[in-house]
Amino acid sequence: DGGITQSPKYLFRKEGQNVTLSCEQNLNHDAMYWYRQDPGQGLRLIYYSQIVNDFQKGDIAEGYSVSREKKESFPLTVTSAQKNPTAFYLCASSIGVSGGDYEQYFGPGTRLTVT
């Protein structure tokens, strides 16, 4: 089965701890994205990557970091610098970023709760 997997589904952390969310895809997509979803708001872009070893900040990158060492994997680290980390985090991928291959496929999400 092709798709995007995120793990874990639920994650609990204490304030002040860094936490890494996993995202893996076997769709052979070049582009990957991380979004944050909060109640009553549209998805907001945290980071995106167009190709291996390259990534760019999105609209709300502060307090987050990413890496893209492999095409299939795009982990997101939520650092202690993120003021309001509790949210639903969604990973997505697309064939590319430009040239008409727009459609984004989403993973199942990770619900992060920081107390």
Partner 1 sequence: GESVGLHLPTLSVQEGDNSIINCAYSNSASDYFIWYKQESGKGPQFIIDIRSNMDKRQGQRVTVLLNKTVKHLSLQIAATQPGDSAVYFCAENYGGTYKYIFGTGTRLKVLA
Report the interface residues with partner 1, using CB under 8 A: 4, 6, 31, 33, 35, 37-43, 45, 48, 50, 56, 88, 90, 97-109, 111
DSSP 8-state secondary structure symbol assigned to residue 16: T
Task: Classify residue 98 as exposed, middle or buried by CB count within 10 Å of its CB (0-12, 13-18, 19+).
Answer: exposed
Greatest pairwise CA separation for the chain in angstroms: 43
Residue 91 CB, nearest approach to partner 1 (Å): 8
**Residue number with CB closer to partner 1 (61 or 80):** 61
**Residue number with CB closer to partner 1 (85 or 107):** 107
**Residue number with CB closer to partner 1 (63 or 106):** 106
Amino acid sitting at position 60: I
**Residue number with CB closer to partner 1 (16 or 100):** 100
Taking the C-alpha atoms of residue 101 and residue 22, their distance in angstroms, rounded to an integer, is 24
Amino acid sitting at position 114: V
Residue 84 CB, nearest approach to partner 1 (Å): 14
Residue 75 CB, nearest approach to partner 1 (Å): 17
Residue 103 CB, nearest approach to partner 1 (Å): 6
The answer to whether residues 11 and 23 touch, using CB atoms and an 8 Å cutoff, is no
